[in-house]
Amino acid sequence: MVYVENQVPETDTRADPEAWIARIGHRHSGNELEVIRRAVGLARRAHKEQIRASGEPYLTHVIAVADILAGLNLDHESLGAAILHDSVEDSDLTLEEIAETCGPGVAHLVDGVTKMRIIGDYQKELGDSSKESARAESLRKLLLAMAEDVRVVLIKLADRLHNMRTLKHLPEEKQRRIARETMDIYAPLANRLGIWQVKWELEDLAFRYLDPITYRQIARFLRERRVDRQRYIQNVIGVLEGQMTEAGIKADIKGRPKHLYSIWKKMQRKGLGFHQLYDVRAVRILVDSVAECYHVLGIVHSLWPHIPREFDDYIATPKENMYQSIHTAVVGPEGKTLEVQIRTWDMERHAELGVAAHWRYKEGRKQDQNFEQKIAWLRQLLEWKEEEGSAGDFIDRFKSEVFQDRVYVLTPDGEVIDMPQGATPLDFAYHIHSEVGNRCRGAKVDGRIVPLTYELHSGEQVEILTTRHGGPSRDWLNPHLGYLKTSRARSRIRAWFKQQDHEKNIADGKTALDRELHRLAVSDLDRLKLARHFGLQQVDELLIAVGRGDINTAQIGHAVHHLTRREDETDTLAPVQRRKGAKGGDIHIRGVGNLLTNMARCCTPAAGDPIVGFITLGRGVTIHRRECSNILNLPEEKRRRIIEVDWSASEKNTYQVDLEIEAVDRQGLLRDISTVLANEKINVLTTDTRSDKHRNTAKMLVTVEITDTNQLSRILSRIGQLPNILEARRRTR
């Protein structure tokens, strides 16, 4: 069995539900225990003939789920609902019967858990644009249920945790699907609600099935060094206990459990090996007050030198789920790195239990502020639903708020702003106010000018530089350029463009569309087809949508790629034959067997371009773009040698394309262009640069290998944003 240092063993609740009720009985009154017993009775009836994949009676699962919630100190209604959470879906038991037998509170929770099955549907449908609106509305209903009573989420999380503990009994394909769903949805939800003990175990169990080789390597690394690490930690604890006693501080000091997925994630994020990790050796110090936390921090830093950039004060700046603690890394005894976490007992309780702590400590309290803050984001999401311009925006914001890490930056006045990881100064500007974003022309981070595409980091102070007049740029909406991370900023920019004059939007849209098609060297695209690709009926509607920012140039590039692929799917010619091993890429030649093909040098077609084949004498078929001048000007007697060809479905081939770049000449121009291409992992075949000293301009011809016109659109956009670039386009011959 693979060693997992921190894995929580599955509690043995299978033998006798009555024994389990007796074990938790001291936490509940007689009436509360009676509700739980009645729930067990209903569950026995509902699941009496059902067997799990492990061969155990289904009742063992629902009792195990309830036991996980008992460990989180949830109330008796939650335990009763956990025992019945699958009964309505999987049997003839009704909510009315549950309400009559166990009370309306239990029935309400069971109903909420049943509705939360929509999470799985959401995951399965990701990327299906035809279902986007329905999915957004389902998410809104899910959030509403969570905001009304967040216990339904806790029951669902406990259900998933027990399923993950017993995942080994399922087929491998199903293991990976469930593990991926757990990592993408359930672990982030547990984190967002502050329930760290559930989050860590979900992540480790999912990691075990998603990447078993790496999982075993890290587990073996921890196991091999366990004895040495425990000896080292005991020595550190002894030193710290002596210092605490001398300072008159009552503290509990213990080694911190290790989580395999967090170790792997840190290795990936920082590019570190096992031996370079700071927190493989770690201790946690628990004290009574915040003042003592900082006193202890001073003691730790006086004992051992701290490691720069490895200090986080989450007491002064709590995480979005209200997690509070001080984290520091020091060079400890024997010159080994050591992580130290310092927090109060109350912070420890809320770190481990999150919103679940609310039910244990709510007695006698009018309001639990920590609880209210932890679920405030749910209510915010419901309010934002009214702001968003489309279902896609709402889904993007949901994913941003729930499934991404956060950064905490400061305004010039010292106010802490919580943003998604990867947010830019422009996102920050729109977070402050729409007008600040619209008039933004630059930004300073910690006093230095940075580009608007700069990625913000926690602790940085951001100042936005604005102009008196003006508005946003349409380039800000282009995802290829990296100006924006948040859907909130994008929706505000689109709202600004929608308010502009109708005729101006048509003119601006035509300019933007013409520029993009010119850059891609696409001259014969049916614009009505392009409009209908976006669900619009008229070309003017397309121009207005482009003009006001509803459709950006990246989307146009993607649509061009889609529309210039094979258009005659209903062609009744013989089945497509796939050419293998020929020079130049994968081509379908209709109605004939395999033929040698070559890419024409006159027009250098790339995947996604509309193409035709020309049968040569002795050199097979030459592939040309349809609008190639050599093809258009063929004499009539040679036109009979043109044949229909298509790109295959393969995405692994690359195609040569010539880029023409015109710029005001400056030092470092070629380097900057090369950097853009290198960052996009574009292979450069040749470069030819010619400078005009009189006009102080430079013209460059760069031959590159690309995979499709989508990629071409992206690199042209990014090159076009470089300083001094006048135009970047695809060359036609």
**Residues noted as catalytic:** 89-90
Give the closest residue to 516 by CA, choosing from 656, 709, 288: 709
Q: Residue by residue, what is the 3-state secondary structure of 621-636? A: EEEEECCCHHHHCCCH
Whether the Cβ atoms of residue 437 and residue 452 lie closer than 8 Å to each other: no
What whole-number distance in Å separates Cα of residue 245 and Cα of residue 22?
41
Distances 560 to 162, 379, 550, 565, 584 between C-alpha atoms, Å? 48, 40, 17, 9, 22
- Angle among Cα 457, 459, 464 to the nearest 5 degrees reads 75
Whether the Cβ atoms of residue 508 and residue 547 lie closer than 8 Å to each other: yes
CA 142 to chain centre: 19
Q: Which helix (H) or strand (E) holds 657?
A: strand 655-664
Structure tokens at 527: 């614009």
Structure tokens at 730: 């695809």
Contacts of 319 (CB under 8 A, 6+ apart): 406
What whole-number distance in Å separates Cα of residue 58 and Cα of residue 174?
19
CA 417 to chain centre: 20
Count of beta carbons in the 10 Å neighbourhood of residue 562: 13
Structure tokens at 405: 């890490």
Structure tokens at 603: 């027009």
Count of beta carbons in the 10 Å neighbourhood of residue 275: 10
Whether the Cβ atoms of residue 267 and residue 214 lie closer than 8 Å to each other: no
